[in-house]
């Protein structure tokens, strides 16, 4: 098991001034930096390049960890785990203890918003989420405008608990789903391979989809503000299904609602740090970054490095983008894939991550191999 502070063991070897600041801060009696500037992830979001990129993984708390599976069994249902602050905090901290990541992401789900809007959300073992589908105009009109935020209190309480236990240098990330991605699950009532039901609704009845998206925009702003006030250092907006949209539809259903969320959050917390993840956006990433004003963009493994460096990383930090299958494969193939990410992006602002969530069959030893290799890197 890797030591949580292992990144600091190598810090004296670094030449940049930031590293010197961290080292100083660890000397007793030194007047250190403010709380905020001791976190590598926030440094990168704030505009700095680090020689050792901060690292965390999407879905880092999950079934590939035996301690997660144990806590999950104890909780009963998946939503019971999300809504029991003590257990949600515990599973949030498990990957930090084991791997010493630079960020913890609060354990929750993007579907807690539809749940708080009164939709019935269930997680069937091995099948993914199930909701009562919004498949008639009447059901869409009847959608509540305001979520019952009392239902989300356990998420905020879990954030407070995690905050109190995290070391100073570990950032805490809150999140929500982007309206388009949440809407795809609400319309279909489940995940589908290409989210055809929501795409069809966008053509047949754009006003109806607009209504769902508007409700999600307003409630997502409140949910992100609630998480930032409860102790999150930054937030990520997951648009997992952005890539199934043609360009015109992408502007309307992915970019525009995300821009409204960013604006709405910053209207209340002007310096809020926000990461966007429009999975599959490809050549539309520069447009996404320009219009949404996110501080960083999480890129999937298919992103083209030249385009990303020239037209994305020149403006914002980049997070990603190891193929989760390389992490399962391990060995030399994994080393090569890690080195590709580093050689493609570590000369600019990089947060090392996967191109999408870690898969349940991933061996723990391969995650350890990845953390070691990234921490041994000097960009």
Catalytic residue set: 59, 63, 72, 109, 185
**Between residues 111 and 281, which has the closer beta carbon with respect to ligand CP3?**
111
**Between residues 38 and 236, which has the closer beta carbon with respect to ligand CP3?**
236
Residues 143-162 that bind ligand CP3 (CB under 6 A): none
CB 254 within 8 A of CB 217: no
Q: Least distance in Å: CB of 312 to ligand CP3?
A: 20
Q: Is 59 in the site for ligand CP3 (CB under 6 A)?
A: yes
Integer Cα distance of 334 and 329 in angstroms: 7
Beta strands 296-298 and 274-278 are: parallel
Contact residues for 322 (Cβ-Cβ < 8 A; gap 6+): 301, 337, 338, 341, 352, 353, 354, 355, 370
Beta strands 274-278 and 234-239 are: parallel
Distances (CA, A) of 61 to 54, 56, 78, 142, 318: 17, 11, 13, 35, 22
Closest by CA to 197, choosing from 215, 179, 184, is 184
Q: Is 338 in the site for ligand CP3 (CB under 6 A)?
A: no
Beta strands 121-124 and 128-131 are: antiparallel
**Between residues 86 and 205, which has the closer beta carbon with respect to ligand CP3?**
86
Q: Is 60 in the site for ligand CP3 (CB under 6 A)?
A: yes
Integer Cα distance of 241 and 238 in angstroms: 9
x/- track of binding to ligand CP3 for residues 249-288 (CB under 6 A): ----------------------------------------
x/- track of binding to ligand CP3 for residues 176-215 (CB under 6 A): -x---x---------x------------------------
x/- track of binding to ligand CP3 for residues 84-113 (CB under 6 A): ---------------------x-x-xxx--
Binding residues vs ligand CP3 (CB under 6 A): 58-63, 72, 78, 105, 107, 109-111, 123, 128-129, 175, 177, 181, 191, 238, 240, 357
């Amino acid at each position: 098991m890797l030591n949580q502070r292992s990144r600091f063991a190598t810090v004296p070897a670094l030449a940049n001034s930031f590293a010197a600041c961290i080292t100083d801060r660890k000397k007793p009696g030194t007047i250190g930096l403010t709380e905020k500037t001791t976190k590598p992830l926030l440094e990168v979001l704030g505009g700095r390049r680090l020689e050792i990129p901060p690292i965390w993984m999407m879905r880092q708390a999950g079934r590939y960890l035996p301690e997660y599976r144990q806590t999950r069994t104890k909780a009963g249902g998946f939503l019971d785990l999300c809504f029991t602050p003590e257990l949600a905090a515990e599973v949030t901290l498990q990957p930090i203890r084991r791997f010493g990541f630079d960020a913890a992401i609060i354990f929750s789900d993007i579907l807690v918003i539809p749940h708080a809007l009164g939709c019935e959300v269930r997680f069937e073992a091995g099948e993914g989420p199930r909701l009562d589908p919004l498949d008639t105009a009447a059901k869409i009109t009847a959608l509540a405008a305001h979520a019952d935020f009392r239902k989300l209190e356990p998420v905020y309480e879990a954030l407070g608990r995690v905050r109190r236990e995290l070391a100073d240098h570990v950032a805490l990330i809150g999140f929500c789903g982007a309206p388009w991605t949440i809407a795809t699950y609400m319309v279909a009532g489940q995940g589908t391979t290409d989210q055809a039901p929501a795409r069809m609704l966008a053509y047949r009845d754009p006003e109806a989809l607009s209504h769902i998206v508007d409700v999600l925009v307003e409630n997502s702003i409140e949910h992100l503000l609630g998480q930032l006030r409860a102790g999150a250092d930054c937030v990520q907006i997951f648009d997992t299904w952005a890539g199934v949209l043609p360009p015109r539809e992408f502007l309307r259903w992915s970019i525009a609602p995300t821009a409204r969320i960013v604006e709405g959050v910053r209207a209340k917390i002007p310096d809020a740090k926000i990461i966007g993840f429009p999975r599959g956006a490809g050549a539309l990433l520069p447009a996404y970054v320009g219009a949404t004003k996110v501080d960083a963009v999480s890129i999937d493994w298919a992103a083209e490095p030249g385009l990303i460096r020239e037209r994305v990383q020149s403006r914002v930090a980049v997070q990603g983008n190891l193929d989760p299958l390389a992490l399962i494969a391990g060995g030399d193939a994994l080393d090569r894939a890690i080195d590709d990410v580093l050689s493609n992006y570590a000369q600019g602002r990089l947060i090392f991550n996967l191109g999408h969530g870690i898969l349940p069959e991933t061996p723990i030893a391969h995650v350890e191999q990845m953390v070691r290799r990234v921490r041994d890197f000097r960009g």
